[in-house]
Structure 1
């Protein structure tokens, strides 16, 4: 991530844009009086981290409360086995 001062950015703008477009540089910081003022990035650049929500949508059937509670007995049988003494 190079930092370029304003005067150099003005004289070499096409080179800086080419560097970002080709991927030679991910981003270029343009500074004014030594302080970062702007960031030059590719227009269609994707965010660095993409949050993916809803990965399980449509993979499982809907489950209402009564059906969910009915699974407790089935799971208990799996762990404890069939108990004929009840």
Structure 2
């Protein structure tokens, strides 16, 4: 269940808020009556899928050659 919390309360109780998020709670941070942010637990499975997707994308990129540079030439 997602709970609303003011930006001021979130700031003052940030460590406590993070402990609750680690236990599965979610929060909507409100500022002047408007939702401005969400704080929610990380979805580890989704994170791993995103990393795998990124690695596949990078592996499929064409190899580009910019010449034979030495380390010294790069940092001159």
Q: TM-score range by the shorter chain?
A: 0.5 to 0.7
Q: CA deviation at 1:22?
A: 1.3
- What runs of 5+ residues in structure 1 fail to find an aligned partner? 48-86
Give the Cα–Cα distance (whole angstroms) in 2 for the partners of residues 29 and 46 of structure 1: 23
| CA displacement, residues 29-79 of structure 1 (integer Å, 9 cap, x when unaligned) | 0011010000001123567xxxxxxxxxxxxxxxxxxxxxxxxxxxxxxxx
Q: Over alpha carbons, which structure has the higher Rg?
A: 1
Aligned length: 45
Q: Which runs of 5+ in 2 are unaligned?
A: 47-76
Alignment match, 2:40: 41
* Structure 1 outlier segments of 4+, above 2 Å: 43-47
Structure with the largest fraction of helix: 2
Note closer, same or farther for the CA distance 1:3–1:14 as it changes in structure 2 (3 Å cut): same
RMSD: 1.6
Report the TM-score, using the length of structure 1 for normalisation. Answer: 0.47
Give the corresponding residue for 2:8: 7
